[in-house]
Amino acid sequence: MKTYRAFLGLGSNMGDRHRMLQRAADAIRMLPGVRIVWYSSVYETDPFGKAGQPKFLNAVGEIETTSDPAELLREVKGIEERLGRISREPWGPREIDVDVLLYEGLVQNDEQVKVPHPGLAERRFVLVPFREIAPDVVHPVSGLTIEDLARRCSDEGRVVKTSYRIIP
């Protein structure tokens, strides 16, 4: 069975944010056919897209998976549901958010899956932790590395490394 390299974004801005990231990481580790490679540091970040809400904790994880992109997306959205995510409003507060950011250089944009994640190149809260673990990964649409995207990103949101870590 072929194994694919994928990157996941994790975020939380409600309740015990660090605990929620760790619980999501624990659930990801238990997915069939998934091996955790590593996680970035945890960063405290300004909310993106909707002001007036608590700051987020964000991290990026690299995994190896035997799941196809649609299956991986279903699995991580199932984790959100099991951890109590409530859909309120676009870009609003959330208990946990797990996104498939990149999947082995694949470009897919259909009703089921959008990879790379459509907002990846415009979001410092994703690019900064992503750059920490995989600066040389190439975005399959722009052809730019994550390092280049992070340097060019016009998002001015605050992204600060914390002392928190996710235990793989």
Known catalytic residues are: 85, 94, 97, 99
Rounded CA separation 43/45 (Å): 6
* Phi-psi sector, 84: left (phi>0), alpha (psi -120 to 50), beta: left
Task: Map residue 103 onto helix, strand or coil.
Answer: strand
Task: Map residue 146 onto helix, strand or coil.
Answer: helix
Question: How many C-beta atoms surround the C-beta of residue 113 within 10 A?
Answer: 17
Q: How far is CA 5 from CA 72, 112, 117, 122, 148, in A?
A: 12, 19, 15, 22, 20
- Give Cβ neighbours of residue 73 (< 8 Å, ≥ 6 apart): 100, 112, 113
